[in-house]
Amino acid sequence: MNEILQINDLMDKPVRHLSLGQRMRGDLAAAMLHSPPILFLDEPTIGLDIDAKHSIRKFIKDINREYKTTIILTTHDLDDIQELCSRVIIINNGRIVEDGSLQALIDKIAPYRYLIVDFYEEQELSPNIPAEVVKTEGGRVWLKFDKKKIAASDLIAEISKANKIKDISLEEPDIEDIISSVYKGDHT
């Protein structure tokens, strides 16, 4: 555990001389001393730098995998959720409003993706394209499409029948927007 958390060199330092990330690593080591079957973590990466967050997340994954420790995580850090959680429970005003895998939540709340298409010049897309034009900027068009109704490759093929494509990129819905939608009650 000392190696995973990189705390060997911290053992003889007074706590008041440790950074927030170093203290957090020490707290996690102390919490695991008796190999608890369940570990409750409240905002474990709050205020930490990128390297410290990476180290803490790696440790959490490792103890879950190696010791089969159940981790109950409360956090507002959506990167923590995406990297660490196999199950997500969203609580609003004391009520559970969502409970399931992150992917199931995404599929339920945001069953769409974005296709960003760069054309060599401004294009007028056919109204029969099975996607919503969200934004246009010169030769670039942002399309929102239902991933359950059409595959990205089929949408690209459809667009390229009548238009010369320079470049494309695909984006998933933003997790912050999805969670915000749950709290606002914008989904059904």
Domains 2-85 and 111-172 fall in the same CATH topology: no
CA distance 173 to 175: 6
Q: Are 180 and 110 in contact (CB under 8 A)?
A: no
Domain 111-172 has CATH 3.30.70: yes
Tokens of 48: 């930490």
Superfamily, domain 2-85: P-loop containing nucleotide triphosphate hydrolases (3.40.50.300)
Tokens of 54: 């990476």
Residue type, 168: I
- DSSP state letters, 139-168: TEEEEEEETTTS-HHHHHHHHHHHS-EEEE
Q: Are 139 and 166 in contact (CB under 8 A)?
A: yes
Domain ranges of the chain: 2-85, 111-172
Task: Return per-residue pLDDT of the chain as tens, 188 residues.
Answer: 666 666 777 777 888 888 887 888 888 888 888 889 999 999 999 888 898 899 889 989 999 998 899 999 999 888 999 999 999 999 988 999 999 999 899 888 888 999 999 999 998 888 899 999 999 999 999 999 999 999 999 999 999 998 999 999 999 988 888 888 888 877 65
Look at the block and give the residue holding tokens 């080591």: 29
pTM (two decimals): 0.70
